[in-house]
Chains A and B, each alone.
Chain A
Amino acid sequence: MEDISFEWREQHWRLSAGRAVYWEEEQTLIVADLHVGKSAHFRKAGIAVPANIVQEDLYRLQQLITKYHPTRIIVVGDMFHSSANNDVVYFKLWRQQFPHIPFLLITGNHDILAPDLYDELDIRLQDTLSLRNIFFVHDAADTPSTLDNQYVFSGHIHPGVRLVGYGKQSLRLPCFYFGPDTAVLPAFSHFTGTYSLEPEPSSAVFVIAEKKVFRV
Chain B
Amino acid sequence: MKNTPGWQAIEQWLAAKELKPFAFQEEAWEHYLSGRSGLVNAPTGFGKTFSMFLGVLIRWMNEQPDYRHKTNSGLQLLWVTPLRALAKDIGRAMEEALHELHIPWKVGIRSGDTATHIREQQKKQMPEVLIITPESIHILLAQKEYPKRFAGLHTVVVDEWHELLGSKRGVLVELGLSRLRGLHGERLQTWGISATIGNLEEALEVLMGQSVHEKAIVRAEVKKEIAVHCILPDEIEKYPWAGHMGLKLLHKVLPVIQNSRTTLLFTNTRGQSEIWYQQILKQCPELAGAIALHHGSIDAELRIWVEEALHTGTLKLVVCTSSLDLGVDFRPVDTVIQVGSPKGVARFLQRAGRSGHQPDAVSNIWFLPTHSLELVEAAALKDAMKINFIESRMPVVLAFDVLLQYLMTLGVSDGFNADEIWKEVTSTFCYRDLLPEEWQWILAFLTTGGEALHSYDEFRKLHLVGDQYHCVSKQQALRHRLHIGTIVSDAMLKVRFMTGGFIGLIEEYFISRLSPGDTFSLSGQNLEYVMIKDMTVIVRKSKSRKSIVPSWNGGRMPLSANLGMMLRRKFHEAMSGAAREEEVLILQPLFELQQALSHIPLEDELLMEQIETKDGYHLFVYPFEGRLVHEVMATLLAWRISQRHPISFSIAMNDYGFELLSDQPIPVDDTNAQELFSSEKLTEDLQASVNATEMARRKFRDIAVIAGLIFQGFPGKHKANRHLQSSASLLFNVFHDYDPQNILLRQAFNEAFFYQMEEARLRDTMERIYRNKIVITFPQRLTPFCFPIKVDSLREQLTSEKLEDRIKKMIVW
Per-residue A-contact encoding for B425-461, CB less than 8 Å = 1, 0 else? 0000000000000000000011001110010111111
Residue B803 at the A interface, CB < 8 A? Answer: yes
Contact of B708 among A47, A52, A53, A167 (CB under 8 A): A47
Residue B731 at the A interface, CB < 8 A? Answer: yes
Complex CA gap A51/B459 in Å reads: 9
Contact of B807 among A48, A168, A207 (CB under 8 A): A207
Q: Is the pair A48, B445 in contact by a Cβ cutoff of 8 Å?
A: yes
Complex CA gap A173/B616 in Å reads: 23
Q: Is the pair B458, A44 in contact by a Cβ cutoff of 8 Å?
A: yes
Residue B734 at the A interface, CB < 8 A? Answer: yes
Interface hit among A6-14, A85-93, A124-132: A85-93
Q: Is the pair A43, B650 in contact by a Cβ cutoff of 8 Å?
A: no
Interface hit among B112-120, B216-224, B720-728: B720-728
Interface residue range, chain B: 35 or more
By a CB distance below 8 angstroms, the chain A residues around B730 are: 191-193
Q: Is the pair A168, B616 in contact by a Cβ cutoff of 8 Å?
A: yes
Residue A117 at the B interface, CB < 8 A? Answer: no
Question: Which interface residue of A48, A82, A164 has the most chain B CB atoms within 10 A?
Answer: A48
Q: Is the pair A167, B616 in contact by a Cβ cutoff of 8 Å?
A: yes
Residue A169 at the B interface, CB < 8 A? Answer: yes
Per-residue B-contact encoding for A196-216, CB less than 8 Å = 1, 0 else? 000100000101011010101
Q: Is the pair A169, B650 in contact by a Cβ cutoff of 8 Å?
A: yes
Identify which of residues 627-655 in chain B touch chain A, using a CB-to-CB cut-off of 8 Å.
648-650
Q: Which residue of A lies closest to B477 (CB)?
A: A46
Q: How many residues of A contact B (CB 8 A)?
A: 47
Interface hit among B3-11, B583-591, B735-743, B751-759: B735-743
Complex CA gap A199/B723 in Å reads: 28
Identify which of residues 471-490 in chain B touch chain A, using a CB-to-CB cut-off of 8 Å.
473, 475-476, 479
Residue A56 at the B interface, CB < 8 A? Answer: yes
Contact of A166 among B454, B663, B724, B808 (CB under 8 A): B663
Q: Known interface pairs A49-B734, A190-B734. Does A209 touch B458 (Cβ–Cβ under 8 Å)?
A: no
Q: Which residue of A lies closest to B648 (CB)?
A: A169
By a CB distance below 8 angstroms, the chain A residues around B808 are: 214
By a CB distance below 8 angstroms, the chain B residues around A41 are: 723-724
Identify which of residues 89-109 in chain A touch chain B, using a CB-to-CB cut-off of 8 Å.
89-90
Complex CA gap A32/B711 in Å reads: 26
Q: Is the pair B615, A167 in contact by a Cβ cutoff of 8 Å?
A: yes
By a CB distance below 8 angstroms, the chain A residues around B445 are: 48
Q: Is the pair B709, A49 in contact by a Cβ cutoff of 8 Å?
A: yes
Q: Is the pair B458, A85 in contact by a Cβ cutoff of 8 Å?
A: yes
Q: Is the pair A168, B661 in contact by a Cβ cutoff of 8 Å?
A: yes
Q: B676 to chain A: closest CB distance in Å?
A: 19
Q: Is the pair A44, B459 in contact by a Cβ cutoff of 8 Å?
A: yes
By a CB distance below 8 angstroms, the chain A residues around B475 are: 45
Q: Is the pair B811, A163 in contact by a Cβ cutoff of 8 Å?
A: yes
Supply 17 A–B pairs (Cβ within 8 Å), ascending by A: A38-B723, A45-B724, A46-B473, A48-B450, A50-B739, A86-B456, A86-B457, A161-B812, A165-B809, A167-B616, A167-B650, A167-B663, A168-B795, A170-B797, A191-B730, A192-B730, A214-B807
Closest 4 CB pairs of A and B: A167-B616, A167-B663, A50-B738, A48-B449
Footprint of A on B, CB under 8 Å?
445-446, 449-451, 454, 456-461, 473, 475-476, 479, 615-617, 648-650, 661-664, 708-709, 711, 723-724, 726-727, 729-731, 733-735, 737-739, 795, 797, 803-804, 806-813
